[in-house]
Amino acid sequence: MNLDELIKNRKAKVAIVGLGYVGLPTAVALAKAGYRVFGIDIKKERVNMTNRGKSYISDVSSEDLKKSIKSKKLRAFHNHLPLKNSDIILICVPTPLDKNKIPDISYILNTAKEIGKYLHKNQLIILESSTYPGTTKEIILPILQKSGFRVGKDFFLAYSPERIDPGNKDYALEDIARVVGGITKKCTQLTAQFYQSFIRAEVFSVSSSDVAEMTKNLENTFRLVNISMINELALLCGKMGIDIWEVITAAKTKPYGFTPFYPSPKVSGHCIPLDPFYLSYKAKEYNFGVRFIELAGEINEQMPHYVMAKVIWVLNLKAKPVRDSKVLIWGVSYKKDIEDTRGSAAYDIIADLIRKGAKVDYFDPYIPKFKVKHRILKKSAVLKSIKYSPKILKNYDLVLILTDHSGFDYDKLAKKSKLIVDTRNAIKSRKYKNIYRL
C-alpha cells in the first residue's frame, strides 16, 4: 500500500519522537483515531509512565492513556528502533534557547540523525516543534537526503506547527485547526491528508514549510508583543492609580479591532517567550533586527523585578521590611491549571525573596516540589508546597498570587490574608482594602 492508502485505512504506523506536552496528547489522539502509535522518548521515566497508563500531562487523562495502551494502539520506547517500521514520523522535541538566548536546535538535529539512520521509501516525516523559518528545509532535509532518497518521490517532509494550549479545556487537540507546509506539493498533500484523518478542525495547506514555520512565529510573536505591551501599560496604570483590569474589561466591549491581553508576572512556558527569539536569531542572517520582539523580551524579563518592587512597597506600607517577612507564593506553574513551571516568574521572585531574607513558602496543587536554582543564590533551594487551608493564611505577612489556579475561593483568600499582591486579578471584587494588583 502507498502512503495515501495507509492513511485512508488508518493502517499507517506512526512514530512520535518526544512524549511531552505536545507528543503525548498527539499519541493518544492518534491511537483513539485507530492508528498504531510508537511513542519514543529519551526520558525513561516518561516511557515507563506511558506504558503503565499513568499520565504526567494534565491535558491527558490516565483513563484515556490506559485505553490506548490496553488496546495495543500505543506503546512507548526508550530507543529509536521503531522509526524503522514507521510510515509516518512526528518530531515533537524541545526547542529551547541557551542561556544567551541562542536557539538550541540540538534536539531537532539529533532526531533528524536518528531518522536518517532508518529512513526508507514511502516515509512521511513531519516536524511539529516550534522553530525558525528554514529549519525543515535547511536543517532536516540535508540530513535525510544523505540517504540518497529523493524528497517528494521516495520520502516526504513537511512542517506543521502544534498549537496546543495546555490547560485550555475548550479546545481539544482535534479541535485546533492545523497549518501544513511541505517541501514539495506531494509532501503537503500527504501531510494534510494525515491530519485531516484525525483532526475535526480545518487543515490549512500553505505553499512551503517556510511559510508554515513563519506562521507559528507570527502567532507567538503576536502574543509576546501584545502581552508585553499590556504589561507596560499595567506599570503605567499602577503609577497613575488606574485599574488596568477595569480598562481592559471596558476596551473589550468594542466589537471589532481589539483583542484583550492580560498582565502577568512574566510570559513563560516553552513557546511564547522563546519562539520569537528563534525568529530574531534567524532575522540577523538577513541583517534585520526585529525590534518589537527584542523590546517585548526586555519588558517581559523586567516583570518579575516589578512584582518584587510592588511586594517591597506593599510590605513597607505596613512598616515591614522584606527581611524576616513571611511570604506565601500562591502558584508556581507558569499559568493556571497545569503542572508546567518552565520559565515561571516564581523562579526569579522566590530567589530574590530568599536572597533578601524573606521566609518563603508556596502553595501549588499541581507542583508538590519546587527547586529554585538561580544565579543570584549561592545554593539551590528546594521548597515543598504547603497544605492549604484558609486558617494558615494568618501566619503570613503577605500572599503573592503568581498563578490563579481554578477551583479556589479567592474571596476567602482575600478575607483571611493580611496583605495580597495579586498579579492575575484572581480576586475580582474591589471591596477589599488589603489587595494590591499589578
Ligand X SMILES: NC(=O)c1ccc[n+]([C@@H]2O[C@H](COP(=O)([O-])OP(=O)(O)OC[C@H]3O[C@@H](n4cnc5c(N)ncnc54)[C@H](O)[C@@H]3O)[C@@H](O)[C@H]2O)c1
Give the residue numbers marked as catalytic.
271
Q: Which of 12, 27, 29, 41 binds ligand X (CB under 6 A)?
A: 41
Residue 40 is a binding residue for ligand X (CB under 6 A): yes
Q: Among residue numbers 9 through 38, which ones bind ligand X (CB under 6 A)? A: 17-23
Which CB sits closer to ligand X, 130 or 228? 130
Considering the complex, state which of residue 74 and residue 413 has its C-beta at the smaller distance from ligand X: 74
Strand partners, 13: 36
Distance between CA atoms of 7 and 194, rounded to whole angstroms? 6
Binders of ligand X in range 264-293 (CB under 6 A): 269-271
28 versus 413: smaller Cβ distance to ligand X: 28
Q: What is the smallest separation between the CB atom of 200 and ligand X, expressed in angstroms?
A: 18
C-alpha cell at 176: 485546533
Distance CA 323, CA 306 (A): 18
> Would you say 59 or 397 has its CB closer to ligand X?
59
Contact 427, 435 (CB under 8 A): yes
- Cell readout for 284 is 540577523
Per CB under 6 A, 338 contacts ligand X: no
Answer yes or no whether residue 94 interacts with ligand X by CB under 6 A: yes
- Give the total residue count for the chain: 438
Tell me the H-state helices in 160-290.
185-196, 209-240, 244-251, 275-284
Helix (H) or strand (E) holding 115: helix 106-118
Torsions phi, psi of 169, nearest 5?
-80, -15
With H, G, I as helix, E, B as strand and everything else as coil, classify residue 124. Answer: strand
Write out the binding residues for ligand X, residues 342-371 only, by CB under 6 A. none
Q: How many CA atoms lie within 13 A of 180 on its CB side?
A: 29
- Gap between the Cα atoms of 40 and 47, Å rounded: 7
Spatial CB neighbours of 51, under 8 Å, sequence gap ≥ 6? 69, 75, 76
Q: Which C-beta is closer to ligand X: that of 6 or that of 108?
A: 108
Name which of 32, 133, 108 is nearest 74 in CA terms.
32
426 three-state secondary structure:
coil
Rounded distance between C-alpha atoms, residue 326 and residue 359, angstroms: 5
**Is 47 an interacting residue with respect to ligand X (CB under 6 A)?**
no
Residue 74 C-beta: closest distance to ligand X, Å = 15
Give the integer Cα–Cα distance in Å for 415 and 391.
11
Of 119-158, binders to ligand X (CB under 6 A) are 129-130
Least CB distance to ligand X at residue 63 (A): 21
Compute the least distance from the CB of residue 180 to ligand X, in Å. 15
- Provide the minimum distance between the beta carbon of 437 and ligand X in the complex, in angstroms, as a whole number: 27
How many residues of this chain interact with ligand X, rule: CB under 6 A?
28
Sign of the dihedral defined by the CA atoms of residues 207, 144, 121, 27, in that order:
negative
User: Does residue 95 touch ligand X according to CB under 6 A?
Assistant: yes
The interface region with ligand X, picked from 160-168, 207-215, 227-235, 325-333 by CB under 6 A, is: 160-168
Contact segment (CB under 6 A) with ligand X among 135-143, 263-271, 294-302, 360-368 equals 263-271
* CB nearer ligand X, residue 21 or residue 35: 21
Q: Which stretch binds ligand X (CB under 6 A): 42-50, 260-268, 299-307, 398-406?
A: 42-50
Binding test (CB under 6 A) with ligand X, winner from 14, 29, 93, 214: 93
Complex with ligand X: residue 25 or 263, whichever CB lies closer: 25
User: What does the binding site for ligand X look like in residue numbers (CB under 6 A)?
Assistant: 17-23, 40-43, 46, 92-95, 107, 110-111, 129-130, 162-164, 166, 269-271
